[in-house]
Amino acid sequence: RILMMTIPLALFSAAIFLFFMPFNGSGRSSDSSLGLLSTINEIEVVAEFPHDPNAFTQGLLYAGDDTLFESTGLYGQSSVRKVSLQTGKVEVIEKMGDKYFGEGLTLLGESLFQVAWLTTTGFSYDLSNLTKVKPFKHHMKDGWGLATDGQVLFGSDGTSTLYRMDPRTMKVTDKHVIKYNGIEVRYLNELEYINNEVWANVWQSDCIARISPKDGSLLGWILLPELRQGLLHSGHGRIDVLNGIAWDSEKKRLFVTGKLWPKLYEIKLKPAA
């Protein structure tokens, strides 16, 4: 009698366990078609650093030694710059002239790669000498974001597509349309490669999308509304959107800022909801 009760109960528990198991542990969805199961993280500010309030940040990366490289936009003010993390001071700047609107920036080997808005022309720079500028052509629809895993380039063009590109030829070697709950996530902007994931600022939002570069599945969302709102509330009315993610892979520090933001934040993720 007891056995007859126990067996169905055990089967039932096993079924429940198997059903939920993939969504426990890392808290991450294993089914990319059901984007709703993605992890959602809020953030905590670990430290604040000064940031040039005139930098219309379009690309951001950490290069070691408390040094950031940043690409800025706006016609006539676009640049690539080497910036001190601690002081926010611009140590070296290479202006792009009036013709180009700077966008995504990434560092691969000794070269910086930068894309520009409304053009398929990009520029590579020698890390040690930003004045050595070489133009290249890419095959995305536009130039918005760039990141690298140290081998290939990842790019965004303001659509919902994440591109993988060969840095030598700029040929697109893979691409994925990013979807959340079946809906395309458009306006993918500034990118960063972090722990085998590509993180993307979503333009005009306070959200970062975590994307699997393997299959384009949406792994999670990071919600950061308090950063922009905090700046607005403390009187910085001129600021634009959240944009700019940089990852210090050695010290595991995560930095974010925004366009015309007077501050750059070191943040960490709160445990997933």
Q: Which residues of this chain interact with Ca ion, rule CB under 5 A? A: 60-61, 192, 245
Among 62, 113, 144, 199, binds ligand DDQ (CB under 6 A): 144
Shortest Å distance, C-beta 75 to ligand DDQ: 9
Of 198 and 231, which has the nearer Cβ to Ca ion?
198
Closest CA to 70 of 95, 110, 107, 105: 105
Q: How many CB atoms are closer than 10 A to CB 30? A: 12
Q: Is residue 158 part of the contact set for ligand DDQ (CB under 6 A)?
A: yes
The identity of residue 153, as a single letter, is L
Of 61 and 115, which has the nearer Cβ to Ca ion?
61
Q: Is residue 154 part of the contact set for ligand DDQ (CB under 6 A)?
A: no
Of 117 and 247, which has the nearer Cβ to ligand DDQ?
117
SS3 89: coil
CB 136 within 8 A of CB 121: yes
From the list ligand DDQ, Ca ion, none, pick the one residue 144 interacts with, judged by a Cβ distance below 5 to 8 Å according to partner type.
Answer: ligand DDQ
From the list ligand DDQ, Ca ion, none, pick the one residue 218 interacts with, judged by a Cβ distance below 5 to 8 Å according to partner type.
Answer: none
Q: What is the DSSP string of 123-173?
A: EEEETTEEEEEEEEE--SSS--EEEESSSSEEEE-SSSEEEEE-TTT--EE
Of 158 and 213, which has the nearer Cβ to ligand DDQ?
158
Of 144 and 265, which has the nearer Cβ to ligand DDQ?
144
How far apart, in whole angstroms, are the C-alpha atoms of residue 1 and residue 5?
7
* Subset of residues 91 to 120 that bind ligand DDQ, contact rule: CB under 6 A: 103, 117
Q: Is residue 155 part of the contact set for ligand DDQ (CB under 6 A)?
A: no
From the list ligand DDQ, Ca ion, none, pick the one residue 158 interacts with, judged by a Cβ distance below 5 to 8 Å according to partner type.
Answer: ligand DDQ
**Residue 211 CB burial class (10 angstroms; 0-12, 13-18, ≥19):** buried
**Residue 56 CB burial class (10 angstroms; 0-12, 13-18, ≥19):** buried
List residues binding ligand DDQ (CB under 6 A). Answer: 58, 73, 103, 117, 144, 158, 189, 203
